Chains A and B, each alone.
Chain A
């Protein structure tokens, strides 16, 4: 298909080194990217992927090494310089200006001018066109912040693609995208690759890596592990190289842990975990079924897909801790009834804009309901503010960690104990020893990569920030915990840990509402799945009836045309 001749190295990094206080983030890493290839950088959270990219684009100064672009040595001192050299980048977090319009965000810094003045009409037109390449048609004149994170991410991608660069870098661009969007992005990426562009792609979704990339570079703890053609590296080997352990070791270790902790007849092997959603199977992300060695079809691996738990058979209803009756908000979500029992995990599934987050926001009092009521502990409540919900033992871990999650200046410890401490009131304080204990406990449990708990959280890698936020809510020990996309941007190993923690929490009686765009994950952890469509609750699946297939069918029923279009 593509001629091999154009695949000469465009970018070469030699012995690149980056030191943060207490962290050797890049330890003499070599890297090269060729024209006409899509090159993945893989590694666990905190392995140094984003740091490598930021050093390459001049966002961070480097502490050693050489960088060559097209044979010439480069040393960009700012992203601006890198952009001028033909390097276009989407950084890990959506890095755009929320207060400006979509169109302006796409053209900031490179606005077309006419007679010295910015040509706004052309900007709008070309922004529209740039988004249409990704099949996205939105009003480009509106403020960026009025759109969902997924759309913001698409806008960032559109901007990067529109800068006709020699080298395109995408750092976890797909973390909030759904399968369609990913496919559209991939189509554009393939086209650019075939035109001779070099593309660097970072993602924690193995299916995406195998669907789109030609070559994989693996990093671990800031060190280069190796570079491999994608077709010659099995998933098993890839994971082993990322984690630094042989898969077999891990298998045994996990089994031991499982049998130690759970009176389960169904101990889980690594293979099961991979087949059942810790690593997404090709069904939802990436390309069609089959192929991959580890993509065990989900249905075959489990008679009852929800993990067995001591909360009983699942059929009898535990006493409800929250009951919502025809709770709704016009324009947001249609009235729904909901009962959540102690120790129950409720998964929310639905298509884009189906109202999952809206439902969560209503339950937590971020949006005020205009119909129906909530009953907690046998009394009716009206939530006008999240504070009221928190006081009653509800907790909400929001989707958008950057704006509503971390407090970047505070340390990891302080961020983790925040919710727990807030519950104690303004003047009661948690002893320092207890704080340290909690923080270090979660740092270990979730594998947060950091030199110490006193590191400020803003310095953590993206995935590790997500883990810390999650730890905050897990530590708060709420009665009902709402998790909106808790595993976004989190690496393979940590996902399993998080799912385990979620399950152990609800064994202690916490009810959990679990929102995730990865269906396998929803299937795996949920006792009950609520299916939403068009901002309404359209179905419920329980126990053994829960499967990806069933969820998809519920979404599709009565409306096949819409989904199949």
Chain B
């Protein structure tokens, strides 16, 4: 009775998974050390930052919007956190909470402008991109090193399983991923996000809380970006106003490669995780082989081409039209005509 039929909506996700596994196996065959669990653990912890930010952005994109301010907010988070701890000697825990608030604040600004004034997300978040970056420079024109012992332990913290260490970044990322996937598929908030992205006007007429959800989505995007910035402090304990320049595009690339459609309404959070992994593996492949960094950009570009083309093709493809859908109880007189 149970048919094993690949739903049209799952095809992009499946394709991403296939590409990810293929890439992993190929890289491993080329550089056998790549298969070691240590490298795998590193792959996750190195990309935790991008992953967390991209998960936040996935909601934004699913809702039919876009967030260009991600990377600036990440940089702002590192600056804010480093300064708070180094200069103002705040307890790191308090600094973390405050930083998260800053992220939410920028997100709220985005969401409120977009919702209440009905402005296009692209322009609003482009403005906050500059605003947040400007604030970084306002805090300090040069990098702020965070030499507190807290950051030391921050970087070393993790779950030790035999030889492998699950870094704090990985654990936080896993937690965020689980929360996101849960929220997307099992809460009304998540379903409203999908509905809005599918057709905002219809979602509104269906009585969904479109406005509230829209603001929330951007707040969550900002929060995730701030959290990503904080987690990055575990790797490099310093704030730099020039950090992550242009990385909002990496985030968008990861989301798209993960199978989320840029116009919204279709996509999966798990796909984004895979998208980030694909970019990460590619990066590793290039560093392992000591290849030119130019190749990272070129392959990202090529991958994007492939995925966008695939999405377009799949979007046009309709599963073989099967009819006979009706339990028809017709009288000879009734002549229902519809094609």
Contacts and interface: CB of A to CB of B under 8 A. Distances in A.
B198 interface: yes
A277 B35 CA distance: 74
B335 A78 contact: no
Nearest to A352: B338
A137 B325 contact: yes
B330 A564 contact: yes
Contacts of A355: 339
Q: Looking at B206, B323, B331, which has the most chain A CB atoms within 10 Å of its CB?
A: B206
A151 interface: yes
B332 A352 contact: no
Nearest to A355: B339
A97 B327 contact: no
A79 B205 contact: yes
A287 to B, nearest CB: 10
B338 A82 contact: no
B329 A180 contact: yes
Contact of A178 (B7, B182, B198, B338): B338
A332 interface: yes
A535 to B, nearest CB: 8
Contact of B202 (A97, A181, A560): A97
Contact of B335 (A116, A137, A141, A179): A179
Contacts of B198: 97-100
B330 A80 contact: no
Contact of B191 (A111, A332, A353, A519): A111
Given A80-B207, A109-B206, A109-B208, A350 B339 contact: yes
Contacts of B187: 116-118
Nearest to A289: B333
A482 to B, nearest CB: 12
Contacts of B333: 283, 288
A563 interface: yes
Interface in A15-53: none
Interface string A523-541: 0000000000000000000
Nearest to B320: A331
Interface string A92-115: 000111111000100011010100
Contact of A351 (B7, B188, B336): B336
A255 B30 CA distance: 86
Contacts of B87: none
Interface stretch (A142-150, A221-229, A383-391): A142-150
Interface string B298-336: 000000000000000000001111011111111111111
B208 A108 contact: yes
Contacts of B321: 331-332
B194 A97 contact: yes
A100 B194 contact: yes
Contacts of B327: 135-137
B337 A349 contact: yes
A177 interface: yes
A143 B195 contact: no
Contacts of A177: 336, 338
B338 A353 contact: yes
A91 B334 contact: no
Interface in B248-267: 265-266
Given A80-B208, A108-B206, A138-B325, A97 B337 contact: no
A565 B323 CA distance: 18
Interface residues of B, number: 47
Q: Looking at B188, B327, B331, B335, which has the most chain A CB atoms within 10 Å of its CB?
A: B335
A399 B338 CA distance: 10
A84 B331 CA distance: 40
Nearest to B323: A353
A496 interface: no
A75 interface: no
A118 B204 CA distance: 20
A184 to B, nearest CB: 8
Nearest to B267: A99
Interface in B149-198: 182, 185-188, 191-192, 194-195, 197-198
Contacts of B209: 80, 109
Given A79-B204, A138-B325, A351 B335 contact: yes
Contacts of B23: none
A552 interface: yes
A113 B9 CA distance: 24
Given A118-B186, A352-B326, A181 B332 contact: no
Contacts of B331: 564
A515 interface: yes
A180 B336 contact: yes
A548 B335 CA distance: 10
Given A95-B201, A118-B188, A135-B327, A517 B206 contact: no
Contacts of A284: 334-335
B135 interface: no
Given A117-B187, A331-B320, A556-B332, A108 B195 contact: yes
A565 B329 contact: yes
Contact of A78 (B7, B204, B328, B332): B204
Sorted from nearest, which 7 A-B pairs have the closest CB atoms?
Answer: A178-B336, A357-B339, A356-B339, A97-B198, A83-B207, A117-B186, A80-B207
Given A113-B188, A147-B325, A354-B339, 12 more contacts: A78-B204, A96-B202, A97-B195, A109-B209, A137-B326, A178-B336, A180-B330, A181-B336, A357-B339, A518-B337, A555-B335, A565-B328
26 contacts: A79-B204, A95-B202, A95-B205, A96-B202, A97-B194, A99-B198, A99-B265, A99-B266, A108-B192, A108-B206, A109-B207, A111-B191, A117-B182, A118-B186, A118-B187, A136-B326, A146-B319, A180-B328, A180-B336, A284-B335, A350-B339, A351-B335, A351-B338, A517-B337, A556-B332, A565-B329
Interface of A: 59, 78-80, 82-84, 89, 91, 95-100, 104, 108-109, 111, 113, 116-118, 135-138, 141-143, 146-148, 150-151, 159, 176-181, 183, 283-284, 288, 331-332, 349-358, 399, 484, 515-519, 548, 551-552, 555-556, 560, 563-565
Interface of B: 7-9, 182, 185-188, 191-192, 194-195, 197-199, 201-209, 265-266, 318-321, 323-339
